[in-house]
Copies of this chain bind each other. A is one copy, B any other.
């Protein structure tokens, strides 16, 4: 159990992260009724931050908050997780499309550096992350970034444990995507990015099928 009173950030944010993780990993099963006061006691904090954390999760579609009635875990089924990854793929495609036309010279140079770093990085997952983030940022769309962030948050954290394999396998994808952005080929960039992320989603699907008890 995390210590909600000594780490940085707001208490609400930490409660939200912890609860989100529990839902995404299935430790909180769909249909479970949540007791606000119980969470309050467990976390050793007051009701307000817990309540606000759960409201945040409700905006993300992970729980339902029925006014003066109760809070229920909606959860995320394996199908939901795959669906969510498909949406993430779609959004990533749009980001790459825009990046191809809107990217600045400076951003492009930096993107090349970031891409090269993936190959030699200690932490491949983190490096891969930075590459995709750089592409997304290059889209220059504040709105798109909002939706991307939310879609990423709904990916079960445990998936990333097997991600290194996936990252290495998809190394060539990055090169072709970067090339498309270099050429300013928006259509190709979109299509490449979308199928690239979709592949990662398929890997998640395989993993979930293997792990369903």
Contact = CB atoms under 8 A, between A and B. Distances in A.
State the majority secondary structure of interface residues on A.
helix
Contacts of A59: 56, 59, 150
29 contacts: A10-B67, A48-B48, A52-B55, A55-B55, A55-B56, A59-B59, A61-B143, A61-B145, A61-B146, A74-B142, A76-B143, A80-B141, A80-B142, A83-B142, A83-B143, A83-B144, A84-B143, A86-B94, A87-B91, A87-B94, A87-B141, A87-B143, A87-B144, A90-B90, A90-B93, A90-B94, A146-B150, A147-B147, A147-B151
Number of chain A interface residues as a range: 20 to 34
Name the residue in A48, A55, A61, A90 with the highest tally of chain B Cβ atoms < 10 Å from its Cβ: A90
Contacts of A109: none
A87 B147 contact: yes
A6 B90 CA distance: 42
Contact of A142 (B61, B91, B142, B145): B61
Interface in A71-118: 74, 76, 80, 83-84, 86-87, 90-91, 93-94
B60 A146 contact: yes
A48 B47 CA distance: 12
Nearest to A90: B94
Interface of A: 10, 48, 52, 55-56, 59-61, 67, 74, 76, 80, 83-84, 86-87, 90-91, 93-94, 141-147, 150-151, 154
A51 to B, nearest CB: 8
A10 B74 CA distance: 21
Contacts of A150: 59, 146-147, 150
